[in-house]
Amino acid sequence: MKNQKVRLNKYIASTGYCSRRKADELIAEGKVKVNGVVVNELGFLICNKDKVFIDNKLIKPQELTYIRYYKPAGYITTMDDEKDRKTIYDILPDEVKHLKPVGRLDKDSTGLLILTNDGDFINDFAHPSVKVPKVYRVCAQGKLNLNDLALMEKGIEIEKGQIAYAFAGIVDFEGKNTVLEMVLYQGLNRQIRKMLDILGHSVISLKRISMGPVDLTGLKKGQFKYIKPKQIQEIKNYLKKLN
């Protein structure tokens, strides 16, 4: 940052603590101090000599890191779990255990996760107002038909007052089961499983194969790869176009 001044919320986001939007909330709540003094002013400017504390803990900028990860089945995507279930952090290498997931996959699902310590990136990618297409390969019990696909596109109430939508196409039939490619623009909990259960077709397997321009190319289950700066800029440009 040298001697130039930057907005306090941007500085907080650069530490990976949270997004700028969340930083503004923390500032408004009086949880942020600069050089020991509580700051409530949104847009407050600081320089490199200033020390920033959140809940009395000193925070510092860190190198921003982004990875693609092929999640295997049997793990949830939270850092801590009250039920002591296995999480991806039990199997991720130490060098990337500080990164947070962009969205989630449930325990039984596999496929693409993006992880980063860039709070703004997480917020921009996962915010409900940004309709990033997420593509899934799903194997479901029984033979689905065009009417089933139309019902998913029209919308299915998976919880009281909660309508889920999906664009789906039939890829193949495997014996008595159906292989689907499904595209979601929402991020509702266990959305695909609930939709198919209501239609009478339980999910056998579910894999996320892409999130916007990011996919599983070159990855094996349990493996991760760093996303290069040029690719990150391309992703950010893509997200801007969706806003």
Distance CA 183, CA 167 (A): 5
Q: Which residues pair with 87 in a beta bridge?
A: 76
Segment (H or E) for 179: strand 177-184
Segment (H or E) for 45: strand 45-46
Catalytic-labelled residue, pool 106, 108, 197, 215: 106
> Does the active-site annotation cover 81?
no
Burial class (CB in 10 A: 0-12, 13-18, 19+), 208: buried
Q: Which residues pair with 114 in a beta bridge?
A: 68
Q: Which residues pair with 59 in a beta bridge?
A: 52
Cβ atoms within 10 Å of 97's Cβ, excluding its own: 13
Catalytic residues: 106
